[in-house]
């Protein structure tokens, strides 16, 4: 068996054992997770661990989320294929690739220049033409292309950034972790006119969202934050 075949089998097992066997039921999300080569979105020395049920470091104090969390957050967006989606926190570009299979266009923002460039490069090499990678402060959103049918934030905010709520279309879904730096609750906000319905989904642990409407630094929080 060659290396590509082994990665394909690992990806199929990941979907069956980590996602479908749990509470991820959206067939389109499961198929996207089968298609995207996660091992190409992690550092080369970690490619053999790419399909394990765990987050992995990607440098610059950032991580690629565990596959289950990626699938769960994606499913919560309830995408049908024609949406414009905003992602905050591009990281390696993996989540953006998943979203690209499920929506019309993905705008994704990354504050770290090196990650912005590497994500843009791998997404381009893999042929994702419906993803636009932007460098900037994701906590401010991306007003130029608003409103968005769905927004996903892959970093933890102390509270929901107001610009993201304003940039969400009517009926749109905003999925993000909210809480302290060492533990948050994954939430979904659904816009109904000027009102929002909040759903609390699950406890999670994400790197901090750094920016004007997030944390001021990604330095580890002091012990008294536990």
- Please state, in angstroms and rounded to a whole number, the distance separating the CA atoms of residues 25 and 59: 32
Nearest to 93 by CA among 72, 76, 70, 77: 70
Active-site annotation holder among 65, 103, 118, 139: 65
- Please state, in angstroms and rounded to a whole number, the distance separating the CA atoms of residues 2 and 65: 27
* Cα Dmax for the chain: 56
- Please state, in angstroms and rounded to a whole number, the distance separating the CA atoms of residues 51 and 64: 11
Nearest to 172 by CA among 143, 202, 201, 152: 152
Tell me whether residue 65 is one of the annotated catalytic residues: yes
- Please state, in angstroms and rounded to a whole number, the distance separating the CA atoms of residues 218 and 8: 35
With beta carbons less than 8 A apart as the criterion, state whether 187 and 198 touch: yes
Active site residues: 65
């Amino acid at each position: 068996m060659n290396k590509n075949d082994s990665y394909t089998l690992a990806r199929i097992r990941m979907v069956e054992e980590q996602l479908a066997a749990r509470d991820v039921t959206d067939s389109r999300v499961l198929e996207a997770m089968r298609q995207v080569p996660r091992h190409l979105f992690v550092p080369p020395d970690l490619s053999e661990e790419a399909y394990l049920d765990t987050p992995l470091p990607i440098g610059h104090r950032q991580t690629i989320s565990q596959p289950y969390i990626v699938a769960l957050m994606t499913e919560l967006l309830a995408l049908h294929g024609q949406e414009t989606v905003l992602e905050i926190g591009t990281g390696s570009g993996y989540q953006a690739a998943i979203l690209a299979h499920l929506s019309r266009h993905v705008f994704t923002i990354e504050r770290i220049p090196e990650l912005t460039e590497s994500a843009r490069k791998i997404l381009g090499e893999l042929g994702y033409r419906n993803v636009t990678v932007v460098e900037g402060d994701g906590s401010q959103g991306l007003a130029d292309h608003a409103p968005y049918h769905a927004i996903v934030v892959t970093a933890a905010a102390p509270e929901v950034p107001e610009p993201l709520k304003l940039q969400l279309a009517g009926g749109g879904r905003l999925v993000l972790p909210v809480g302290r730096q060492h533990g948050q609750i994954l939430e979904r906000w659904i816009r109904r006119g000027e009102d929002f319905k909040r759903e609390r989904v699950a406890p999670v642990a994400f790197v901090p969202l750094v920016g004007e409407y997030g944390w001021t630094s990604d330095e580890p929080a002091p012990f008294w934050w536990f």
